[in-house]
A and B are shown apart, each in its own frame.
Chain A
Amino acid sequence: MFNKKLMTIPGIKKLIIKISILAVIQAFSIIAEAWFLSSALVNAWMLKKVTASIYPMLFFFIAFIIRYLITRIENQITDNFSDKASNDFKKALLEKTFELGPQSVAKLGSGQLITIALEGIDQIKNYLNLIILKTLNLAIIPWIILVAVFFVNALSGLVLLLVFPIIIYFMIILGIAARKKSDQQYLNFSKMSNNFINTLRGLKTLKLFGLSKIYGKNIFRVSENYRKSTLEVLKIALLSTFTLDFMTTISIAIVAVILGVRLINGSVLLFPALFALITAPDYFLPLRDYGNDYHATLDGKNALDHLISILDTPSPKAQKELKQFKTWNQKSTLKADHLSFQYDKDSDKGIKDVSFNFTGHLKVGIVGQSGSGKSTMLNLLGGWLQPEDKTNFKINGEKTDSLAQFAWQKHLSYIPQNPYLFSGTIAENIAFYAPNANTDDIKKAAQSAGLEEFINSLKDGMNTIIGRGGRGVSGGQAQRIALARVLLDQREIILLDEPTAHLDIETEYELKQTMLPIFKDHLVIFATHRLHWMNEMDYILVMENGKLVEQGNPKKLLKQSGKYRQLVDEIRGEDNNA
C-alpha cells in the first residue's frame, strides 16, 4: 500500500526525519512507562508502603503522558504536511484542467474530475496522514521495544521475535486471499448499489408499465443475496484480522505462562516478567494499526494514482506560437493544410487531411451527418484538440502547428448547443470574457443580444443570480447571454455548434433575427444540421467520415448534384408537402 510516487511530494523527506525521531522517542517512553510501572507494581507486591512508589508512579505517569503527547504532535505535523500536499495537488489538478480544456475534460468525465477534486483529494489527504505515520511506527517502535525486552528477559524477547514472522506469514497467506475476495466484494457492492440507484431511476418507467410494485420484492431479494454473499466473503476477509488478533493475544498468553513457569523455577524475578508482559501488547500495536486501515488507505492510494495519471495527461499546446496575429479583420486569412486528428490509434475516428482557406468576415458552415467530424473540426479550430504533426496552419501568412494557444483563443467565442451559465449574476455572466467591463457596456451588449425585455421583466434585473442554484434560464435566453458575451469583449471569431437545434421553432426564429446582424462583421464558423442556417452561410464545408468531401458557396453547391445536395435532400426528408 506504499506508493513510490509518494517520495516525490515536496517536504516528505523532512517529515520522515521528524516522524522517525519522534517514533524513537516514543519507543523509549514506552519502555520507560513499562519500566516504572513494573517497579511500582513490584513495590506494591512486596507490600511496601505507598510512599515507596511515589517516584515510580510519577515517572510512569510522565512517560505515559510523553508517549501520547508524541502521538498528538505526530498527528499535527503529519496533518500540516498532508494539508499542504493535498492543497498543492488540488491546485495542480485545476491548473491541469484549465490546460486540458473541454475535450480532455469530457474524455475524463467531468463528474469524475469533480469527484477527484473533492472526495479524491480528501482521500489522498487521509492516505498521506495514515501511511507515513503507520509505516514509520511499524519500522521503528517494535524493534526498540524488542531490544529492551531482550535485555530484561531474553526468552520473552525470543517469543515475541518468533511470533512476528509467523504473523506476517499468515497475514500474507490469508491476506492475499481475503483481500482479493474483499476487493471483489467491494465491486459487488458498487454493482448492487448502482443497480439499486438504477432501478430507482427506472421507477417512473416501471410504473408506466404497471410493474413498479412487483419490483419492490425484487429489490429485497437482490439485497438479501448481497447480504449472503457479503457474509461468505466476510468469513474469509475477517480471518486476516482474526489471525493478527489471535497471534497477538495468544503470544501475550504464552509469554505470561512461560514467565509464570520460570518464576516458579526461580530463574526469573517479578520485575523483568512484568516488564515483558506490559510491553508485549505495545510491541504488536504498530502492526495492528498498520493492518487496520487497509480500505481507507486503498481508496486514497487509488485516488492518488488516478490524480497523478490525470496530471500526466498531455494537454493540447502549440509548439510554435503566433507572434504577429493581433486581430481578425476583412483582410485576415486562415489557411489549414492537412488538418488531421485521430481520437484513437486503433480506430480511424477523427478527421484526415482537411485543407481550407478562409478570408475576412466569412460565414462558414460545417455540415455533414452525425459522426462525420463536424465537432472535431470545431474543436481543432478552437484549439481544444492537438492536431497531428503533419498539420499546418497559416494565419495571415504566419505559420503555426496548432491553434491551442491563447494568442488565437483570445479572439474566439464559442456558442454550443447549451452555453454554460456560471452561477452568478446575469451581468457577471455577460462579462465573463471581460470581467472588468463597466455596467453601461454590459447593458449595451445585453441590448444588442436581445436580452432587454427579459432583463426588465426580472425584479433584480442584471443582478439576478442565474446558473446552478439560481433562477432558471430558458435555452433561448442562455443563447442570448452567450451572444452578449461575444459582443461585449468584441471577439472577432465566433464558433457555433448547433446553437438552435434544441430550441422550439418560435424561439429559434426570434433568435435567428438577433444573430444574423451580429454575424456580419465576424468570422463565423458554424456546425449545423439546420437547413435554414446553411442557407445563410457564405461558404460550406461538407464532411463525410472525417474527410472534407465538398466545399464552396451553398447556393452553387445546391445546383450541382453533389454531396451537399444529397445531404440537404436527406435532411428535408419526404416531409415537404404541407
Chain B
Amino acid sequence: MRNFFNKDTWIKPYLKKDKKLLFTAFGLGIVTIICSIGLMFVAGYLISRSATRPYNILIVYIPVILAQAFGTGRPVFQYLEQLTSHNWVLGVVSKLRQRLYMTLEKGADFVGERFKLGNLLGVLSDDLEHLEDLYLKTIFPIITSYITGIIIIILLGIVSIPYALFMFVCFAVILLVMPIISVIIFGKAKKYEKNLVANNYQNLTDATLGVTDWMISGRKKDFIGEGTKNDKKLAQSRNKVDHFEWNRDFALRSMIGVIIVGSIIWGNIYLNDSQSISNYIAAFVLGVFPLLDTFIPVSQAMENWPIYKESVNRLNNLSNTLDKEEIDNTENNFDPNKINSISMNDVSFKYDDDNSAILNNISLNVKQGQKLAIIGPSGVGKTTLLQLLLGSINPTKGEVKINNVKVTDLQNNRSNIFSVLDQQPFLFDTTIINNVMIGNEQATFAEAKQALSEVGLADYIETLPKKYDTDIDESGIKLSGGQRQRLAIARILLQDNPIVLLDEPTVGLDPITENNLINTLNQVLKNKTIIWVTHHLQGLSTMDEVIFLQKGTIQMDGSPSELYKNNEKYRKLYQMDQGIEN
C-alpha cells in the first residue's frame, strides 16, 4: 500500500489542487452528518423535556429552533456538498484527461503496436471514470465519516469517558476493521474473477464473430456451452462475495443495535441523577440511528478499491513507460524544400520482446521525386519500415537519413517533411472542410476546396445539403471507403510535404474503386517523392522501383518493366494479377 502511494502520480498530486474547494466539500459533508445526528438528538431531548410539562413553551424554544434548523440544514448541506464535491472532482478529471492525452501523445506513433491492446483507449478512458468514482464514492464518504467519527468521540469524551471508550471500540469495528476485511475479500475475489471475465469475453467474441461456422457446424449445444462456460465459477465467486456482503451488513447493523442498547444502559446508569439530566437519555439514543445511514456504507465504499487500484496502476505504468520516450530533437533549422534523398543504410530492427529481427540489413536510397513501391506478405515488417523512415522508432542497427541528417533528429520538422496515407484514414468527427483543413490550418477555404476538387470529391460534396459543412458521420450520409481515402488525400495535398508515405491505402477497396484511386494519386502527387507499401500489383507500372520484401530482407528489386522482362516469378505474379492466360 505504501509503495503504491509512493510511486503514484495520478491521485496524490491532485489532492493538493484547489484545496479550498476540497476542504469546503469535506466540511459540508461533515456538517451534513452532524445535522442528521443533531436532528434526532434534539428531537429526543425536545419531547423528553416537554414531557416534564414545563409551565411555558418558551422553555423548549431553543430545541424547537434547533430541530427546525437541523431538519432544514441536513438536506441543504447535503445538496451543497454534492455540488461542491462534483465541482472539485470534475475539475480534477479535466486535468487528468489532459494529462492522459499528453502522455499518450508522446507515444502516438507506436502506442497501438506497443501495447497490443485493441481497446486500450477505451480502457484508459474507463480508468478516468474509475478515478472519478474513487473520489466521489470512496474518498469523500470515508474522509467525512472518519472526521465526524472523531468529532463525536471527542464530544462524548467530554460528557463521559467510559461511554466515549465504548463508542470508540464500536466505531473502530464499523469504520476500520470491517472495511479492511471487505477490501481483502473483494480484492481476492476480483483477482480470481478477472481471468474468468476475460475468458468469458473471449468465448463470447468467439461465439459472435464465429457464428457462421458455429451455425453450419450445427453444434448448438457446444455453442451455448462455450458461451456460458465460466458462468458457474463466476456465479460461485460472486455468490461468496454477496454472502459476505449480506452477512457483513447484518453484522454492522446488529452492531448499531448493540450501540443503542449500550447507550440506554449508559443513560440508565450515568444520566440517572435528576429529571433534567435524564431528559438527555432519549437524545443520545435517538442520535445513534442516523449512524445506520452514514457509517455502514463505509465498508461498501471501500469495496471497489481493488478496481480503482488497478486503474491507477495502469495509468502509472503508462506514464512511467511513455515519459521516458521523449526523444531529444536537436535539428531545428531544416529546410524541407531542399531534400535530395532519403536513405536507409544497412538498417535492422528488432522489437524488444521478439527473438529475431523483423528487418535485416535493409539498404535503399530514394531520390527526391522518385517513386518506390514495397511489396510483401503481412507481418514482414512493411509498416515497421515506414515507421523507421518516419523516425518514430530507432533502428537497432544502421541509420535512416534525409540528406545527411538522421531522421530521428528531425522529429520537430516531421510534419513539414512527411505526409502519410494510412489503410484506414482517421477522420475526425467534424465537418468535411474541417477535416481537410487539418492538413494546413493556415490554408484558405478556396485552397481546401481546390484540394477536394483535385481528388474528385467536390462534385459529390456539392450535392450534399450542407455541402462542405456536412458532418463526417452525419446520419444518412456515409462516405464510402474510397471517398474517405480521397478526403484524406485532399488533407495531404493541403499539407504539401515533399515525401508521401502510402501504407496500403487501397486495401479493402474493390478493384474498380482502387484503379480510380490510384489514378488520382498518380495525378495529384506527380511531383512528390512516394514510398508506397502495397500487397498486389495494381498500379505498379507507374513506379520507378519495386522492392519485394521477404523474411525481413529484400528479395526482388528493380523497375517494373525490368522485372517483367528478366524475372520469371514477377512475370507469373503479374499475369495472375491481371488475369492474363498464359
Instruction: Please tell me if the beta carbons of B416 and A210 are within 8 angstroms of each other in the complex.
Output: yes
- In the assembled complex, B11 has its CB within 8 A of some CB on chain A: no
Binds A, one of B80-88, B179-187, B337-345: B80-88
> Chain B residues with Cβ under 8 A from A197's Cβ?
121-122, 125
Bound CA span A196–B129, Å: 12
- In the assembled complex, B538 has its CB within 8 A of some CB on chain A: yes
* Interface residues as binary, A248-284 with B (CB distance below 8 Å gives 1, 0 otherwise): 0110111111011101101001100110011001000
Shortest Cβ gap from B358 to chain A (Å): 13
How many residues on the B side are at the interface (Cβ–Cβ under 8 A)?
160
* Interface residues as binary, B217-245 with A (CB distance below 8 Å gives 1, 0 otherwise): 11110111001100100010001001100
Binds A, one of B18-26, B105-113, B402-410, B456-464: B105-113
A274-B83 contact, Cβ under 8 Å, with A94-B224, A256-B67, A578-B560: no
Shortest Cβ gap from B170 to chain A (Å): 15
Instruction: Please tell me if the beta carbons of B579 and A505 are within 8 angstroms of each other in the complex.
Output: no
Considering the complex, which residues of chain A in the window 11-51 have a beta carbon less than 8 Å from any beta carbon of chain B? 37, 40-41, 43-47, 49-50
> Chain B residues with Cβ under 8 A from A43's Cβ?
268
- In the assembled complex, B441 has its CB within 8 A of some CB on chain A: yes
Instruction: Please tell me if the beta carbons of B216 and A410 are within 8 angstroms of each other in the complex.
Output: yes
Shortest Cβ gap from A266 to chain B (Å): 6
Instruction: Please tell me if the beta carbons of B574 and A578 are within 8 angstroms of each other in the complex.
Output: yes
Bound CA span A530–B575, Å: 12
- In the assembled complex, A576 has its CB within 8 A of some CB on chain B: yes
Instruction: Please tell me if the beta carbons of B71 and A252 are within 8 angstroms of each other in the complex.
Output: yes
Shortest Cβ gap from B409 to chain A (Å): 16
- Which of B239, B422, B578 is close to A572, meaning CB atoms less than 8 Å apart? B578
Instruction: Please tell me if the beta carbons of B46 and A199 are within 8 angstroms of each other in the complex.
Output: no
Bound CA span A208–B158, Å: 68
Instruction: Please tell me if the beta carbons of B47 and A277 are within 8 angstroms of each other in the complex.
Output: yes
Instruction: Please tell me if the beta carbons of B101 and A242 are within 8 angstroms of each other in the complex.
Output: no
Main secondary structure on B side of the interface with A: helix
Bound CA span A83–B231, Å: 11
Bound CA span A69–B246, Å: 9
Instruction: Please tell me if the beta carbons of B377 and A506 are within 8 angstroms of each other in the complex.
Output: yes
Binds B, one of A98-106, A161-169, A322-330, A437-445: A98-106
Bound CA span A572–B420, Å: 27
> Chain A residues with Cβ under 8 A from B79's Cβ?
238-239, 241-242
Instruction: Please tell me if the beta carbons of B564 and A200 are within 8 angstroms of each other in the complex.
Output: no
- Which of A50, A105, A263, A574 is close to B268, meaning CB atoms less than 8 Å apart? A50
- In the assembled complex, A201 has its CB within 8 A of some CB on chain B: yes
Instruction: Please tell me if the beta carbons of B202 and A468 are within 8 angstroms of each other in the complex.
Output: yes
Shortest Cβ gap from B181 to chain A (Å): 17
Bound CA span A263–B258, Å: 30
Instruction: Please tell me if the beta carbons of A44 and B264 are within 8 angstroms of each other in the complex.
Output: yes
Instruction: Please tell me if the beta carbons of B257 and A64 are within 8 angstroms of each other in the complex.
Output: yes
Instruction: Please tell me if the beta carbons of A202 and B47 are within 8 angstroms of each other in the complex.
Output: no
Binds A, one of B2-10, B204-212, B323-331, B445-453: B204-212
Instruction: Please tell me if the beta carbons of A505 and B537 are within 8 angstroms of each other in the complex.
Output: yes
- Which of A40, A91, A213, A369 is close to B264, meaning CB atoms less than 8 Å apart? A40
* Chain A residue at smallest Cβ distance from B269: A50
Bound CA span A502–B228, Å: 34
Instruction: Please tell me if the beta carbons of B47 and A193 are within 8 angstroms of each other in the complex.
Output: no
- Which of B50, B208, B247, B573 is close to A263, meaning CB atoms less than 8 Å apart? B50
> Chain B residues with Cβ under 8 A from A245's Cβ?
74-75, 78
- Which of B71, B205, B278, B377 is close to A476, meaning CB atoms less than 8 Å apart? B377
Considering the complex, which residues of chain B in the window 247-279 have a beta carbon less than 8 Å from any beta carbon of chain A? 247, 249-250, 253-254, 257-258, 260-261, 264-265, 267-269, 271-272, 275, 278-279
Instruction: Please tell me if the beta carbons of A253 and B216 are within 8 angstroms of each other in the complex.
Output: no
> Chain A residues with Cβ under 8 A from B320's Cβ?
none
Considering the complex, which residues of chain B in the window 563-582 have a beta carbon less than 8 Å from any beta carbon of chain A? 564, 572-574, 576-581
Instruction: Please tell me if the beta carbons of A98 and B214 are within 8 angstroms of each other in the complex.
Output: yes
Instruction: Please tell me if the beta carbons of B211 and A435 are within 8 angstroms of each other in the complex.
Output: no
> Chain A residues with Cβ under 8 A from B577's Cβ?
505, 532
- Which of A118, A573, A577 is close to B515, meaning CB atoms less than 8 Å apart? A573
Instruction: Please tell me if the beta carbons of A41 and B250 are within 8 angstroms of each other in the complex.
Output: no
- In the assembled complex, B90 has its CB within 8 A of some CB on chain A: yes
Bound CA span A571–B239, Å: 61
> Chain A residues with Cβ under 8 A from B162's Cβ?
none
Shortest Cβ gap from A221 to chain B (Å): 9
Binds A, one of B51-59, B148-156, B302-310, B359-367: B51-59
A507-B215 contact, Cβ under 8 Å, with A45-B48, A197-B122: no
> Chain B residues with Cβ under 8 A from A87's Cβ?
228, 231, 235
* Interface residues as binary, B394-420 with A (CB distance below 8 Å gives 1, 0 otherwise): 000000000000000000001110111
> Chain B residues with Cβ under 8 A from A76's Cβ?
243, 246
> Chain B residues with Cβ under 8 A from A207's Cβ?
105, 108-109, 415
- In the assembled complex, A449 has its CB within 8 A of some CB on chain B: no
* Chain A residue at smallest Cβ distance from B289: A281
* Chain B residue at smallest Cβ distance from A262: B50
- Which of B36, B260, B279 is close to A249, meaning CB atoms less than 8 Å apart? B36
* Interface residues as binary, B349-389 with A (CB distance below 8 Å gives 1, 0 otherwise): 00000000000000000000000000111110000000000
- Which of B50, B201, B572 is close to A114, meaning CB atoms less than 8 Å apart? B201
Instruction: Please tell me if the beta carbons of B227 and A57 are within 8 angstroms of each other in the complex.
Output: no
> Chain B residues with Cβ under 8 A from A224's Cβ?
91, 94
Interface centre among B213, B419, B573, B577 (most CB of A within 10 A): B213
Instruction: Please tell me if the beta carbons of B104 and A203 are within 8 angstroms of each other in the complex.
Output: yes
* Interface residues as binary, A87-120 with B (CB distance below 8 Å gives 1, 0 otherwise): 1001100110110111001000010011001100
> Chain A residues with Cβ under 8 A from B235's Cβ?
83, 87
* Chain A residue at smallest Cβ distance from B231: A87
* Interface residues as binary, A54-74 with B (CB distance below 8 Å gives 1, 0 otherwise): 000100110011001101100
Instruction: Please tell me if the beta carbons of B419 and A208 are within 8 angstroms of each other in the complex.
Output: yes
* Interface residues as binary, A481-514 with B (CB distance below 8 Å gives 1, 0 otherwise): 0000100000000000000001111111100100
* Chain A residue at smallest Cβ distance from B51: A270
- In the assembled complex, B291 has its CB within 8 A of some CB on chain A: no
* Chain A residue at smallest Cβ distance from B212: A102
Shortest Cβ gap from A35 to chain B (Å): 14
- Which of A202, A406, A467 is close to B206, meaning CB atoms less than 8 Å apart? A467
> Chain B residues with Cβ under 8 A from A72's Cβ?
246-247, 249-250
Instruction: Please tell me if the beta carbons of B44 and A277 are within 8 angstroms of each other in the complex.
Output: yes
Shortest Cβ gap from B556 to chain A (Å): 10
- In the assembled complex, A517 has its CB within 8 A of some CB on chain B: no
Instruction: Please tell me if the beta carbons of B376 and A98 are within 8 angstroms of each other in the complex.
Output: no
Shortest Cβ gap from B129 to chain A (Å): 8
Bound CA span A233–B299, Å: 30
Shortest Cβ gap from B351 to chain A (Å): 13
Instruction: Please tell me if the beta carbons of B83 and A90 are within 8 angstroms of each other in the complex.
Output: no
- In the assembled complex, B554 has its CB within 8 A of some CB on chain A: no
> Chain B residues with Cβ under 8 A from A37's Cβ?
260, 264, 285
Instruction: Please tell me if the beta carbons of A423 and B218 are within 8 angstroms of each other in the complex.
Output: no
* Chain A residue at smallest Cβ distance from B563: A578
> Chain A residues with Cβ under 8 A from B246's Cβ?
72, 75-76
* Other 12 A-B pairs with CB < 8 A, given A44-B282, A249-B39: A47-B275, A60-B260, A64-B254, A68-B254, A87-B228, A113-B208, A241-B78, A254-B71, A370-B510, A505-B573, A509-B576, A578-B560
Could you name 16 residue pairs across A and B whose Cβ atoms are closer than 8 Å?
A: A44-B272, A118-B201, A193-B129, A205-B438, A209-B415, A219-B98, A220-B94, A224-B91, A234-B86, A249-B72, A253-B71, A257-B67, A261-B50, A420-B206, A422-B206, A435-B219
Chain A contacts to B: CB under 8 angstroms: 37, 40-41, 43-47, 49-50, 53, 57, 60-61, 64-65, 68-69, 71-72, 75-76, 79, 83, 87, 90-91, 94-95, 97-98, 100-102, 105, 110, 113-114, 117-118, 193, 195-213, 215-217, 219-220, 223-224, 226-227, 230-231, 234-235, 238-239, 241-242, 245-246, 249-250, 252-257, 259-261, 263-264, 266, 269-270, 273-274, 277-278, 281, 369-370, 382, 384, 406, 409-410, 412-414, 416, 420, 422-423, 432-433, 435, 467-469, 472, 474-476, 485, 502-509, 512, 529-532, 534-535, 568, 570-578
A-B pairs, top 5 by smallest CB distance, nearest first, are A531-B579, A210-B415, A253-B71, A263-B50, A256-B43
